[in-house]
Structure formats: C-alpha cells, structure tokens
Chain A
Amino acid sequence: MIEERIRSTKRAVIPYVTAGLPDLDTTGDILDVLAAGGAAAIEIGIPFSDPVADGPVLQRASYLALKAGFRMCKLMERLGSWSARVSVPLVIMTYINPLMRKGLEDSLTALRDAGVQGVIIPDLPVDAGGIFDHCSRIGLDLVRLVAPTTKRARAREILSRCSGFVYAVSVKGVTGQRTSLPEGIDAQVASIRELTTLPVCVGFGVSRAGQVDELLGFADGVIVGSHLMQEVMSGTDPVERARDAFARLMNGSR
C-alpha cells in the first residue's frame, strides 16, 4: 500500500510530525491539512526522551511533547480514528525503547490493528531479522534506513528485510535542516536501486522546495521533518504553519 502510494504520487513528499505537540488534537488537525495538501504518506513520530539520531529541532519537539504530557495509551486511542479518517498511509517513526516496553511484537501488532501501515525504527538491533519476519506476518511495512556509510553487503542484508520503501539517509549526521544537499546523494540512491525494486526516499536535512525538486530527479520520494516541526513550534497557529510550509514544498521552486 505505501509502496504503490509513493509510486502513484507525482510529487511524493512525506512529512514527519511529532505526535502530541502541542497536543494530540492539534496533531490530528495537522495530519488533515498535510493529507489535503497532497502528502504521499505521513510519518508520525512517537516522542522519546533520548533521541540520539535527532538534531536540535526534533530533540526539542520530542522534549516539548513529553513535557506537554504525551502518553502512549492516548496516542493508541487516537491512531485508529486518524487512520480511518486520513486518506494517506500513516507510518510510525520512533526509537525502539518505547515499543519494547510492553513487548516489541505486541506493540507492532497494536499499531497494525490501529491502521498504521508501516514503522521506521532508527535504532533497530543490528540483526533485525526476527522483527522483520513479525512485521511481514502481520502485514506491517518495516521501512529500513540505509546510511552513506553502509557497505554494500550490509545494504543487501538490510534491503532483503525491508518493505514499503527504503529510507536513504542523505548525510552522515543527525536529523536537521541543511542549506545544501550533500554531494553524491544521487550516486547513493543509484547504488541502492541496484539492490532493490522498492521505492527509494531520501530524508535528513531537506527544507526547501528546490531541494525537493532536485531529489525527485532521481529519488522516488522525499521526507521532510525538522523543517516542518520548526514551523510547527514557532508560532501560535501550528496547523496553519504546517499547512503553509508543506504547500511551499509541494509547489516546487518554480
């Protein structure tokens, strides 16, 4: 489902939203405007106390969401209605610990039951085979990340246990906005394509429509996180800000 959706979307931009910032009602409203704005899929971030793969913006988003009282059980209550209402695939992105606390497999199954279509976990254990098998069994996509440092043999191993799409991490570094795209990202995407038929989406550091244009020249989709959350956190009208920022990305640079 995610795979087809990305393929069939002309300008496949996948926004990331930290859940519960400033509250879950607002998150629901943001999902609505992003879906209406043409998102190919939406990543919902479950905040975590120690987000080691995230730069300052998403760290702050996590911190503020937790401070505002984010609770897993409240999110689980909402997810079902969100996935029924929002017409685009919802993908959960979070660190492994919040999912492991009540048993990883049970948590993944609960997400599937709530209508979530995929998960992205940046700190999966090196041998994630068993987790992938569980996801396949229950019909949940396990999106895997491939880094610029990933060697070919490892990439092959990852891609043989990946579904939905491939998340190509564009930079050596944590999440965050960057002014220019790293050199060699097109070659990185090309080398991933040699190993998989899944759509390849690029994330980490994208903040401008021009970057989206450029990336979509060779990638199937683009993920935008920090830039949107920066907007969401910088005013009293987070829903409008998310809508406008996403519209600017969707409209292209021309």
Chain B
Amino acid sequence: MKGYFGEFGGQYVPETLLPALEELEEAMLQAFADDAFSAELQAYLSDYVGRPTPLTHALRLSAHYGCDVWLKREDLTHTGSHKINNAIGQILLARRMGKRRVIAETGAGQHGVATATVCALFGMECRVYMGSTDMARQRVNVERMRLLGAEVSPVESGGATLKEATSEAIRDWIANVDTTYYLIGSAIGPHPYPTLVRELQAVIGREAKAQFETLAGGLPDAVVACVGGGSNAIGIFSAFLDEASVELFGVEAYGEGNGRHGASINFGYPGVLHGTRSMLLQDKDGQVCETHSVAAGLDYPGVGPEHSHLAATKRASYRLVTDEQALAAFRLLGRLEGIVPALESAHAIAFLEQYSRQNSGRRVLVNLSGRGDKDVHTVFGGAA
C-alpha cells in the first residue's frame, strides 16, 4: 500500500492536513524526476554544505577496539551534522511549492540550526519548536538559531522534549497549512516524509560506499549509525540494503536503562504517533511514554517506519547503548582521533565495544552524524 514499509508507515493525520501531504508528495515526485532539481541540489550540497564529506580511517580507534573502523564525517558539513542534507533538499522543494514560511521541530537543535540556516539562505520566515528541557541542555544551538534569524518557540507540555516539539509543529501546520512548509527533521511523520527524508539523506550512503571502495576496497562488513527518528541511519543504510554481506546496526539510546530510555524498536510496540505507524514506546493503554537520553536527538519514543520494517524483516539489527557508554565514547573519540562527536553519534561509536568483542578484525563503517560542540557543556556541566 502507498506510503507503507510492510505494516509500518501510512498517513494518520487530521483531515485538514491531507491535501497538504498530497501536494507535498506530488512536488517531491516531480522534483526527483527533474534533472534541474537534482543539479540545483547537487550544487548546494557541494558549494554550500561542503560535500562530499570525508571518510576517515580511524587508526587509533581501530587499534583500541581491535577492528577496522572507518568514519563517515557528517560532522564536517556546514552546521555540523547530517541534518543539513535534509534541510537543504526540503527548502528547495518548499521554494518550488511557493511557500514562504517554514516551521520545524528540533531536539538537539541540530535540525533547528540546519533549518534556520537554509531559511536565512533563501530569505524565508522560520519558526522552530523546541521543548524547554532541550532548550536548556542545547542552549548553544538556541542561540545559533536566533542569530540566524529564526524564531524559537519553547514548548512546555509533557516532558518538553522532541515529542512535544513535534506535536506543536504539527498544530502550527494545521492552522497555517496554506502558507507554511513543514520541514520535518527525521525519517518520521506521515507519508511522504519518511521517503523524502531518506532520499535526501541517501547521499551519505552513496558517498560512503564509493569512498570505502576506493580507500579500503570492497564493502564493509558492517555499517553502524545511531537511531533517533532514524534519518542518518536510513541515509547510510540505503546504499547497503541490497548488499546481503553487509550487516546493518542501528544504535538506540538506552539512557539510564530500566524504563528510562529511548529504545523504541527494542522495547516498543506498534503504534501511531505523529502521523505514522511504527514501533512506539507506550504503556498498556496506548499512552506514549516519556523517554530519556543524554542525547537530545535520540530522546524520542517513536522511530521512522522504515526502521521498524527493517527490524521486523531482520535486515537490520537495533542495539542498545547507555548514557554512560555514550559519554565514555564521546571522550574516547576526542582522545584517540581528535574528533569530538555529537552525543547522538557517540552512541554509534560506543556500539563498537560490543561489536568488536565478537568481530575482531572486521571492517566497520560508522556514520559520525554530527560534531559535539553543542554537547560540551552537558558533558562537563552535568546539565543533562
């Protein structure tokens, strides 16, 4: 069925939004079939975002773990995370659709910064919804967004994190659907968003696959990425889905363990949140749970529907990393490679500890989805 990945996905939205989703799908299909769009996107990706990003052979980290680690350096993009790949693509789409006002939700603030950036670039009005808990722990990014001319609206309801920010963005969209483009930040939400975001993030996988072939030869044994909503993961996985020899690992935030985490695939049940049916952390009554992760970008009770499908079909495995393990990996990567990763990306690095125990000597491609400047005060200040 249209917009489904197996039994996951779909469009579960208030009726008011349905025409907007149809319009978006049509615009997306036209844009993807249009060489002029591809050329324009390509130009911005290379001349503004700074693509291709390097593939770094992490020699000291490899020695530490006893396997061969390659890092796809999304931290080196303009604005410092993979979120910009999606934002630049969607803003070009918004322009084609004639929209002047853009809204977005953000958790870690990386998507908010990416959206504020592309809105500044194209002179569009920008409003970013952000939970007040996240505004406190990712203060630097709040200031960056404001500097770029975006209006940052605090969301106070519930746990005041990414879930609530997303709900508030949807409410704004319902009220302003004629004029407004909703620039969603991950591979979540109703169809066509999970597909749109995957296609725009697929550049990570395409580049990494070619670079790996050139620098290391052949294919990696495993590809690893952290999973919040799942956009950086689906972006890098997409190039390897058909390569049966390549194991795919998504890393979920296990937070403090024991019910305080964001591991939707490991501990959730199928459910509907924010317009899509996917694995969802919820109680026996279908009430969505509060989540926790030291990484604001992984602090979300749902996950993109395609990941639920990849888990159900066992094409990808989804593993757990705690706050503590991620914080250790955050420090480790700085010490060994001179790279300070985002706390989200540190989850992917930390997984190597588990992986290398059984897979010594294997070649692993890790998506380093972003840089950790935004997290330095969380790590040192205990603000999480």
| A interface, CB within 8 angstroms of B | 48-53, 55, 59, 63, 66, 71-72, 95-102, 122-127, 144-151, 154, 158, 169, 172-174
- Number of A-B residue pairs with CB-CB distance less than 8 Å in the complex they form: 111
Chain B residues contacting A146 (CB-CB under 8 Å) are 15
For residues 276 through 295 of chain B, which have their beta carbon under 8 Å from a beta carbon of chain A?
Answer: 277, 280, 282, 284-288
Nearest B-chain residue to A154, judged by Cβ: B18
Chain B residues contacting A124 (CB-CB under 8 Å) are 12
Nearest B-chain residue to A71, judged by Cβ: B285
Chain B residues contacting A147 (CB-CB under 8 Å) are 14-16, 18
Nearest B-chain residue to A48, judged by Cβ: B287
Determine which of B19, B163, B269 lies in contact with A50 in the assembled complex, contact meaning CB atoms within 8 Å: B163
Determine which of A51, A98, A127 lies in contact with B285 in the assembled complex, contact meaning CB atoms within 8 Å: A98
Task: Decide if A126 touches B11 in the complex (CB within 8 Å).
Answer: yes
Number of interface residues of B (CB under 8 A): 38
In whole angstroms, how far apart are the Cα atoms of A51 and B167 in the complex? 8
In whole angstroms, how far apart are the Cα atoms of A132 and B244 in the complex? 41
Determine which of B271, B274, B288 lies in contact with A100 in the assembled complex, contact meaning CB atoms within 8 Å: B271
Chain A residues contacting B13 (CB-CB under 8 Å) are 123, 126
| B interface, CB within 8 angstroms of A | 1, 10-20, 157-158, 163, 167, 170-171, 174-178, 269-275, 277, 280, 282, 284-288
Chain B nearest CB, measured from A229 CB (Å): 16
The CB with the most chain B CB atoms within 10 A, among A55, A125, A145, is that of A125
**Known pairs A50-B167, A72-B286, A126-B12 / 8 extra A-B pairs, C-beta < 8 Å:** A50-B163, A97-B286, A122-B15, A145-B14, A147-B14, A147-B15, A147-B18, A151-B19
Question: Which 10 pairs from chain A and chain B are nearest by CB?
Answer: A101-B286, A98-B286, A147-B16, A173-B175, A147-B15, A126-B11, A53-B14, A49-B288, A72-B285, A49-B287
- Report 28 cross-chain contacts, Cβ distance below 8 Å, ordered by A residue: A49-B288, A50-B163, A52-B170, A53-B14, A59-B157, A72-B284, A97-B271, A97-B272, A97-B286, A99-B286, A100-B272, A101-B269, A101-B284, A101-B286, A122-B15, A123-B12, A123-B272, A123-B275, A124-B12, A125-B10, A125-B11, A125-B12, A126-B11, A158-B15, A169-B15, A172-B175, A173-B16, A174-B175
